[in-house]
Amino acid sequence: MSTFLESLNWRYATKKFDATKKISAADLNTLKEAVRLAASSYGLQPFKVVVVENPEIREKLKAAAYGQTQITDASQLFVFANDLNAGPESVAAYIKNISETRGVPTEALGGFEDMMNNVISNLSQENKNIWTAKQTYIALGTLLAAAAELKIDATPMEGFNPAQFNEILGFDKLGLNASVIATVGYRHDEDDAQHYKKVRKSQEELFITL
């Protein structure tokens, strides 16, 4: 655990990436697997994650992210997109996955399926979108922690225009919405932010024990 905390102390929101350094295929796969294994409400994972490497697409996305250079200089760009149409079809697909993975008849999972459908169907569209977007942030947090363990820099970013991202990436046609993004790669030697001491609240100020 001490090494994990050391990794969290090491990481920071990288402002300037070294565009000449790329993440290895093995490490990239580890990051993707970490995101895949991230916690999610019911295990439903009502989102998609798009890993953008194409330089031309990233140039367009940089313009939609107010010119932030991390978008194009980082090794990869992760775009977390929440599902705007989460409902019976996605629940049924999840139930099928459980059945095949655990060797359990789908009929035995009927109660779980009904419960999920009842909960989701009682959400307004706005609240459903908020709920699915929250799931992407859990996955984002797992990505950041996994990257830190690998000594890969990662920067979570909300400073972008979701509507423009949706148009560029074709999300509008897929029932998806870009909720949060993260750039991953390696810090540039000239990024002064890497030398700043990490500033956080103390445990005494942050936690309340009842």
Residue spans of the domains in the chain: they are 2-206
| Per-residue pLDDT, 45 | 98
Whether the CB-CB separation of 77 and 58 falls below 8 Å is answered with yes
Q: Whose structure tokens read 């790669």? A: 185
Give the contacts of 53 (CB within 8 A, at least 6 positions apart). Answer: 76, 77
The Cα–Cα gap between 85 and 5 comes to 38
Q: Give tens-digit pLDDT for 66-123.
A: 999 999 999 999 999 999 999 999 999 999 999 999 999 999 999 999 999 999 999 9
* Relative orientation angle of helices 110-121 and 88-102, to the nearest 10 degrees: 150
- As a whole number of angstroms, the distance between CA 129 and CA 23 comes to 32
CA dihedral 128, 133, 135, 141 (to 10 degrees): -160
- What DSSP string describes 120-156? HHTS-HHHHHHHHHHHHHHHHHHHHHHHHHTT-EEEE
> What is the pLDDT at residue 2?
79
Tokens representing 111 are 């109660």
> Taking the domain 2-206, which CATH number applies?
3.40.109.10
**Rounded mean pLDDT for each run of 10 residues along the chain, 210 residues in total:** 90 97 98 98 98 98 98 98 97 98 97 98 97 98 98 98 98 97 98 95 98
Which residues are paired to 50 by β-bridges? 79
